[in-house]
Structure 1
Amino acid sequence: MTPAGKRFALMAASVLAMASVVGYVGTRIALRYGPTLDTYGNEVGGSFRLMDATTGTMTDQTFRGRWMAVLFGATHCAEEACTPALTKMSTALDTVDPGKRNAVIIFVSLDPDRDDADRLRQYGSSISPRVVAGTAAPGPLADLAKEYHTTVEKVSDPEWTYAMRMSPRFVIMNPDTRYAGTVDATLSAEAMADALKKIMPPEK
C-alpha cells in the first residue's frame, strides 16, 4: 500500500471509530432523557419522547398530522407476538391508507438493555416501512406505558432468558395527537382493517 493509501485507510478507520463513539454517546444521552409526559387531556395516550432507530430522538410531535398506531413490546417479545401484530397492522393500514402517507406504527420497545438503535432499525425495517421503533430508560418507559394503559411485564423465556410481554392492543391517536380508539393486537389483518375503518375517516 502506498503512503497515501495508508493515510487514507487510517483516516477512514478514524472516521468510523468516531461515528461509533458518537452513536453510542447519542444512545446513552437519549436514554437518559425519557418521555416528557402530557396527556393533552386524553383518557388514553399522550406525549412521548423516545430514542429512535437512528440514535436521535422522536416525539409525538414528530408525527403530528399523521395517524399513529402505538404498540408496546420488544424485539425479544413473549410468545413472539409482536412481529405478527405489527405485520398485520401494517397490512390493515395499507387498506385504509393506501397512499402510505397518513399513518404510521409507533413500536415502543420495553427492553432498552437489548434494543439499541441498530437492533430497532433492523427490526422495524424487516417488518414494514410504516414501523418506527423507539425506546427510553426503564423508569420513563414505565410512566409512558401507564399513560397508554398498559404495563411493563418481563417473563422468562427458554431461548432468550427473558422476554417482554406485548401490550394487548394498539392505541390509535389521531393527527392532532388525540386518542381515537384501540384495536386488539391479536386480530387478523382483515379484522384490524375493519376496526380502523370505524376509527379513521377514509383517505381522500
Structure 2
Amino acid sequence: MTPTGKRILLTATAILAAGGLATYLGTTLALHHTITLNTYGNEVGGAFRLMDATTGTMTDQTFHGRWMLVLFGATHCTQDACEPALRAMSDALDKLDPSKRKAVIIFVSLDPDRDDAERLHQYAATLGPRIVAGTAAPQALADLAKEYHAPVEKVSDPEWSYTMRMSPSFVVMNPDTRYKGMISANQSAEAMQKQLATLMNTAD
C-alpha cells in the first residue's frame, strides 16, 4: 500500500472510531441523565418525555389539547393488575369520548429492560387504540414517577423473576396539562366513568 493509501486508511479508521465513541458516549449519557422536568405548577404531574412503542419520542406536548390519563406499571405487572385497569379505563372513555379525540391513556412502563418498543407496541395493540405505551431510562423513570406520585416497586415473581407493581391510581391531566385529580385503578369501568365525568366537567 502506498503512503497516501495508508494515510487515507488511517484517517478513515480514526473517523469511524471517533463516531463510535460519540455514539457510545451519547448512549451512556442518555441512560444516566434525564431532562429537567417541569411541573407547570402542578401538585401532581407535569412534563414528561418517553420512548414510545415505535421507538420515537413522545412528550406531554404531543397530547396537548387532550385529556391524559397516566398510569405506571409494566407489561410484567404484579398480580396482572395493569391490563384490567387499562381495559376498564378504556371502556369508561368509550362512554365519555366515543370519538376517541378528547382523551388518551398514557401507560408508562417502569421496566425498560424488558419493555422495549416492540413489546410495548404489541401490549398496547391488544388493549385498544386509546392506549399509548412508553418508557425511558431508569433514572428518568424514577424522576417521572416521583413527579406523578407513583411508587416504583419491584416484586419477586416465581415465573417472571420479578414484576413491577402498578401505581394505585390514574393521574388525570386536563388538555392544558393541569392536574385535575386521581382515579383509583382498582375499580370498575362504571365507577371510573362517573369519577372521570365529574373531573372532566369541573371548571378550571
Do the structures match in fold with TM over 0.5?
A: yes
% identical equivalent positions: 69
Partner of 1:10: none
Partner of 1:44: 44
Partner of 2:70: 70
Partner of 1:86: 86
Q: Please, which runs of 5 or more residues in structure 2 have no aligned partner?
A: 1-23
- Matched residue pairs, number? 176
Residue 201 (structure 1) shift: 2.8
Residues 1-204 of structure 1: pairs in structure 2 closer than 5 A? 32=31, 34-201=34-201
- Point out the structure with max Rg over C-alpha: 2
Distance 1:69 1:75 in 2: 17
Distance 1:116 1:195 in 2: 33
Runs (4+) off by over 2 Å = 28-36
Cα deviation, 1:152-172, whole Å, max 9, x if unaligned, reads 100001110000000000000
Residue 39 (structure 1) shift: 0.2
Distance 1:35 1:169 in 2: 25
TM-score, normalization by structure 1: 0.83
Query: Is the 1:35–1:50 Cα contact (8 Å) retained in structure 2?
Result: no
Q: Please, which runs of 5 or more residues in structure 1 have no aligned partner?
A: 1-24
Distance 1:29 1:93 in 2: 39
| Distance of aligned partners of 1:162 and 1:31 in 2 relative to their CA distance in 1, 3 Å threshold | farther
TM-score, normalization by structure 2: 0.83
